[in-house]
Amino acid sequence: MTETTELINQLDELERSLYVFHHLSSQVELDAMTAAPIDSAAGRSVVTEYLSKERYAAFASEKTGKLLSDLVERKAELPEKTARQAEVLKRDYDRMKAVPQEEYVQYDILVSEAQNVWLKAKLNNDYASFSPYLKKIVESQLRFIEYWDPDHKQKPYDVLLNEYEYGLTADMLDKFFDEVKQTVVPLVHAITEKGWQPDTEFLNKYAPLEKQRELSDYLMDVLTLDRAHCSIAETEHPFTLEFNKDDVRISTHYHTDSVMSSFYSVMHEGGHALYELHTGDELRFTSLASGASSGIHESISRFFENIIGRSKGFCDFILPKMNELFPGQFESVTEKAFYQAVNTARPSLIRTEADELTYCLHIMLRYEMEKALINREISVDDLPRIWNEKMKEYLGVDVPNDTKGVLQDMHWGGGMFGYFPTYALGNAYGAQMCERMKRDVDVERCCAEGDLKPVVSWLTDHVFRYGCLLDPIPLFNQYCGAEFTAKPYCRYLKEKYSEIYGL
Amino acid sequence: MTETTELINQLDELERSLYVFHHLSSQVELDAMTAAPIDSAAGRSVVTEYLSKERYAAFASEKTGKLLSDLVERKAELPEKTARQAEVLKRDYDRMKAVPQEEYVQYDILVSEAQNVWLKAKLNNDYASFSPYLKKIVESQLRFIEYWDPDHKQKPYDVLLNEYEYGLTADMLDKFFDEVKQTVVPLVHAITEKGWQPDTEFLNKYAPLEKQRELSDYLMDVLTLDRAHCSIAETEHPFTLEFNKDDVRISTHYHTDSVMSSFYSVMHEGGHALYELHTGDELRFTSLASGASSGIHESISRFFENIIGRSKGFCDFILPKMNELFPGQFESVTEKAFYQAVNTARPSLIRTEADELTYCLHIMLRYEMEKALINREISVDDLPRIWNEKMKEYLGVDVPNDTKGVLQDMHWGGGMFGYFPTYALGNAYGAQMCERMKRDVDVERCCAEGDLKPVVSWLTDHVFRYGCLLDPIPLFNQYCGAEFTAKPYCRYLKEKYSEIYGL
């Protein structure tokens, strides 16, 4: 056995043990979010501490450090996949190794507890019970930034952005949000001034739970999701979680008075799931076996939710099915009325229920706040007040309580600073990707016929199969054949909403 | 620090690590049974192998062996709880140590795979795809019996029984089933001869899923289950799983055309959950922190399902609630008609849906078959044929396919030989326990008023809080103040069914 082969074998072993920790942590997290009773954190803490310690011991060891350095050194001799594994793992290793073990473990426990506290705080509209945890998390994040960038080569917030969207900077985001704001705000104003809104009353009639489940099953079929490898659960806050490409989970929330809520959750999470299910076989059980970044992932989920799922063609296609599943509810609804109803743009309180047009403003608000928090310009205690002020300023709405305000999202309690912007970026990535896709695929026909195979196939070839073989920015440039710009997204929103609202 | 204190500290550390493995394995198992997609075994195998190896390494080490021997030796000096921990752990250690590590790990993987194969085989009525796995499991069990009892001090099947009901023997079971048969078979014959059956049609009207969920919530309240520590999920085959006394899960299956199916699943699993939730605080995260045995556990679940849940008093109490939740369905149903309908005794195919009277015959059949299998009197290939013959003989029913026959239960695919008899035993334990309880608690009033607090309180004081501090037989003798006999159970069945059927 050559020394290189021996190193590759060691790498495989490392990847396998990392998979175990990924699987088990995901398992505990999935359960906490979908099934665990509310006061069950005690046992989970014992387990989280164990997993965190073992993972740190297995990964942040001198042995692993030497292995990764050795591999990176002989990069030229390695197969492309192996070289990339070493590169990505070395990046993670350097980040983990920079944090002292005790602090790393304590942080994992803190975040696990904080998520439980957040869930209860949201339920009881009790920001005060959550803020001490959030303060500790922010302090940890600030220390991590020092560990990760001791020479201050980057701006502090950029150090966090790198974890979710490698290569992304606040400067890029400032420019992006400026452009988006210039398109969206005038559109929102014009709609408000016009005063007309589509009739949406029929969407909120009673829709039985078991029929909504049938609808989910149907939509998953339309999305071409392989049910043998992708299941659906119910949860408060829908999400997708992947164990590996043969075991992907989506979740949704059924409201018997709001059938489209779960409909679009399934379309959105289904998009995430498609990505994971179609990553390359050869990447399975390795650190490359997942989507390239949060932003690219979100571009896929929002593409299926909005660009496909809220297109005129797809709405026309789905209406007869809605009629079949919910007799009476859609009886006298025209295709046009259905399309307009699911595309209503109206400023609202909850990000996850926001329409396609105002959604970015919800993200902009969070982006500005978390950036200011990390730059120490504001404090955790200021968040509810600033939240409510910005909601008034950007969306013109009054926030009645923290449950519907600053407590609505789990991200900050999960330590995910730098994640929110990728949601907005995803919308814009998707619009540009769709323009490129249309050169190869008749997307309108696919929507109108509910035949999404050609779309999924294009995405598999151009995006999905690469997993993490490329960083998000080079990957995007490769499949779009151009650098990212906000223009296709702005164009898409302007055309769509001008037409619907007759502006 | 004295040497004994030092040993106790080491024991605490061992217990904590065992808790981690219990928690993680339960987590993976729970997920596989409730949420995982059907073809997701690949990732789970990687993880099961890891957990199995690590658990074996942590538990079956020389260090652990020495620790437990040292503790058992100085039993007299130890606090009662610690002495019992050492005793129980030493028993488990000896069993695990007797199996070679490689074989132990391979067996865990086999069982994990087999459960997946069984689920699919049941779905597709395909016994042939499952039988090779079952053969391997039986072969493993036979080897384990040799490892555990190399000097053949016990009968082979008794060695397996010990794992679920310490101290129980096939001789005791033969005697028990003989007595039960003498009561039940004539009763079943008399009912068949009489030819009259209660009207049950109204039980199978459409009952919306979300209303059945409301019913589950209501029943969990009536059972005094603390929802902060006990959640409910949906699954194909209802079960209860405990992580620790602060984190217990029950599951149920909703059929929109059979509202009482989930009703009695919740009563049954709720009984199991009450037991776990009320084990002693001081036993938490130790090997004593669970119910005393499968049989004692089942006596509690069947007590709540049948002795309480199918009593005349409780039926009268619950009927108005059923009327409220399912308008129309129970409108013209009298209290008597409802009581009779939920107590219909009619030979049927599926154990979990069998009535209280014929249930034991389902178990007797399984007991006889698995005992013969372990005694090498029959083979795995014979099972479907023998199953169908015995179903005809004992219950007079024709089995249409293996899905509704030999494939219906998960136990054998999970390697649980010796488990089934504890179900029958549980029914009988419960009847004798109830006779004893009635000296202290007005059980009839509790049922009639739906006030189960006094019942739960008696059970906590006499049964639950002991966890595994005592073995099942001494525990039973202690709280019943007498040795176990089948008589109270036979008396209970005879009185109840003679009255309902006017025999």
A159 in any annotated domain: no
Q: How far is B207 from chain A (nearest CA, A)?
A: 11
Distance CA A114, CA A413 (A): 6
C-alpha span between B404 and A276 (Å, rounded): 36
Taken in order A433, A434, A439, A441, the sign of the CA dihedral is positive
Task: Please indicate whether, in this complex, the C-beta atoms of B42 and A231 are within 8 angstroms of each other.
Answer: no
Torsion of CA A336, A339, A340, A343, to 10 degrees: -170
- R_g (Cα) of chain A, nearest Å: 23
Which among B37, B434, B439, B366 has a CA at the least distance from the CA of A30? B37
Q: Kindly tell me the burial class for residue A139, based on how many C-beta atoms sit within 10 Å of its own C-beta (0-12, 13-18, 19 or more).
A: exposed
Smallest Cβ distance to A27: which of B31, B46, B229?
B31
CB atoms within 10 A of CB A465: 15
- pLDDT digits over A180-193, tens only? 999 999 999 899 99
And the tokens for B194? 């009489």
Tokens at A441, concatenated = 């695929």
Q: How far is B169 from chain A (nearest CA, A)?
A: 36
Candidates A31, A46, A227; nearest CB to B16: A46
List the beta bridge partners of residue A244. A247
Quick one: pLDDT at residue A105?
86
CB contact under 8 A, B37 and A231: yes
Cβ contact A306:A263 at 8 Å: no
Of A19, A39, A243, the CB nearest to B246: A39
Q: How far is A244 from chain B (nearest CA, A)?
A: 7
Q: Indicate the SS3 state at residue B243.
A: strand
Averaged pLDDT score across all residues of chain A: 95
Structural domain contains residue B159: no
Residues whose CB falls within 8 Å of the CB of residue A7, separated by 6 or more in sequence, listed in order: A67, A70, A71, A74
Confidence of residue A1 (pLDDT cuts 50, 70, 90): low
Across chain A, which distance is largest between two alpha carbons, in Å?
75
The answer to whether position B57 is within a domain reads yes
For residue A33, is pLDDT > 90? Answer: no
Domain boundary among A119, A153, A187: A153
pLDDT of chain B along its 503 residues, tens only?
688 999 999 999 999 999 999 999 999 999 988 899 989 989 998 999 899 889 998 899 999 999 999 999 999 999 999 999 999 999 999 999 999 989 988 998 899 899 889 989 999 999 999 999 999 999 999 999 999 999 999 999 999 999 999 999 999 999 999 999 999 999 998 999 999 999 999 999 999 999 999 999 999 999 999 999 999 999 888 999 999 999 999 999 999 999 999 999 999 999 999 999 999 999 999 999 999 999 999 999 999 999 999 999 999 999 999 999 999 999 999 999 999 999 999 999 999 889 999 999 999 999 999 999 999 999 999 999 999 999 998 998 999 999 999 999 999 999 999 999 999 999 999 999 999 999 999 999 999 999 999 999 999 999 999 999 999 999 999 999 999 999 999 999 999 999 999 99
Whether A379 and A306 share a structural domain: yes
Residue identified by tokens 């049922």 is B447
CATH number of the domain to which A478 belongs: 1.10.1370.30
Take residue A455 and report the two structure tokens written for it: 């779309």
B126 & B180 share domain: no
What's the CA gap between A443 and A433, in Å, rounded? 12
CB atoms within 10 A of CB B332: 8
Q: What pLDDT is attached to residue B1?
A: 63
Cα separations (Å) of A288 from A80, A280, A405, B329?
Answer: 12, 9, 36, 55
Q: Are residues A379 and A412 in the same domain?
A: yes
What's the Cα-to-Cα distance from A440 to each of A220, A369, A462, B37, rounded to whole Å? 24, 40, 11, 33
| Interchain contact B208–A (C-beta under 8 A) | yes
Domain closes at, from B94, B122, B153? B153
- Containing B234, the helix (H) or strand (E) segment is strand B230-234
Examine the domain organization and report whether B175 and B127 are in the same domain.
Answer: no
Residue-wise pLDDT tens digits, A39-54: 998 999 899 989 988 9
Q: Does B27 touch chain A (CB under 8 A)?
A: yes
Q: Would you give the end-to-end CA distance of chain B in angstroms?
A: 70
Residues B319, B239 share a domain: yes
SS3 of A206-219: CCCHHHHHHHHHHH
Strands A247-252 and A240-244: antiparallel
Q: What are the DSSP calls for B356-379, one per residue?
A: TTTHHHHHHHHHHHHHHHHTTSS-
Task: Please name the residue ranges forming H helices in A450-486.
Answer: 453-462, 472-480
A467's tokens: 């997993």
The answer to whether A50 and A111 have CB atoms below 8 angstroms apart is no
Host domain of residue B131: 3-153
- B140/B280 same-domain check: no
A323 touches chain B (CB under 8 A): no
User: What does R_g of chain B's alpha carbons equal in angstroms?
Assistant: 23
Average pLDDT over residues A111-135: 94
Closest residue in chain B to residue A256, using alpha carbons only: B210
Mutate to test the interface with A, among B46, B256, B259 (most CBs of A within 10 A): B46
* CA–CA min distance B480, chain A (Å): 33
Instruction: Give dist(CA B120, CA A36) in Å, integer.
Output: 27
pLDDT digits 0-9 by tens, A198-257: 999 999 999 999 999 999 999 999 999 999 999 999 988 899 999 999 999 999 999 999
A132 and A184 belong to one structural domain: no
Which of B103, B123, B153 is where one domain is finished? B153
Residue B351: is it exposed, middle or buried by C-beta count within 10 angstroms (0-12/13-18/19+)?
middle
Q: What is the pLDDT of residues A317-370, one digit of tens each?
A: 999 999 999 999 999 999 999 999 999 999 999 998 899 999 999 999 999 999
Contacts of A23 in chain B (CB under 8 A): 43-44, 46-47
Asked if the structure places residue B161 within a domain, the reply is no
CA distance A302 to A425: 10
Decide: helix, strand or coil at residue A316: helix
Q: Does the residue A161 lie in any domain? A: no
Residues B188 and B74 in one domain: no
Measure the CA dihedral A348/A349/A351/A357, to 10°.
20
How many angstroms from the chain centroid is the CA of residue A425? 10
Structure tokens at A435: 């323009």
Q: Is A44 helix (H, G, I), strand (E, B) or coil?
A: helix
- Which tens digits make up the pLDDT trace of A131-168? 999 999 999 999 999 999 999 999 999 999 999 999 99
Tokens of B359: 């249930």
Q: What is the reported pLDDT for B33?
A: 86
Average pLDDT over every residue of A117-130: 95
In this prediction the pTM is: 0.90
Residue A160 inside a domain? The answer is: no
Say which of B87, B163, B269, B305 is annotated catalytic.
B269
H-run or E-run covering A251? strand A247-252
Let me know: does A261 contact A243? Beta carbons within 8 Å: no
Could you tell me which residues come within 8 angstroms of residue A135 by beta carbon, excluding any fewer than 6 positions away?
A380
Does B163 map to a domain?
A: no
Nearest alpha-carbon partner for A446 in A275, A277, A192, A222: A222
* Tens of pLDDT, residues A400-443: 999 999 999 999 999 999 999 999 999 999 999 999 999 999 99
The partner residue sitting opposite A209, judged by closest CB among B19, B37, B209, is: B209
Does residue B38 belong to any structural domain of this protein?
yes
The verdict on A114 and A247 lying in the same domain is no
CB contacts, 8 Å: A44 with chain B = 23, 247
Rounded Cα–Cα distance for residues A181 and A406 (Å): 22
Torsion of CA A114, A116, A122, A125, to 10 degrees: -80
To test the contact with chain B by mutation, choose from A15, A19, A27 the residue with the greatest count of B C-beta atoms within 10 A, namely: A27
Q: List % helix, strand, coil for chain A (3-state, nearest 5).
A: 70, 5, 30
**Strand A230-234 relative to strand B247-252, pairing:** unpaired
Integer Cα distance of B41 and B30 in angstroms: 14
Distance (Å, rounded) from C-alpha B44 to C-alpha B63? 29
- Cα gap B240→B294, rounded to integer Å: 12
Task: Give the end-to-end CA distance of chain A in Å, rounded to a whole number.
Answer: 70
Find the closest chain A residue to B254 by CA distance: A210
Element of type H or E holding A248: strand A247-252
Cα distance between residue A421 and residue A438, in whole Å: 26
For A61-70, how does the pLDDT look when each residue is reduced to its tens digit (9 = 90+)?
999 999 999 9
The verdict on B183 and B124 lying in the same domain is no
Side-chain half-sphere CA neighbours of B144 within 13 A? 25
Q: Provide the number of structural domains found in chain B.
A: 2
Clarify whether residues A148 and A195 are in a common domain.
no
Residues A367 and A240 in one domain: yes
CA distances from B136 to B373, B385, B412, B415, B418 (A): 13, 20, 11, 10, 17
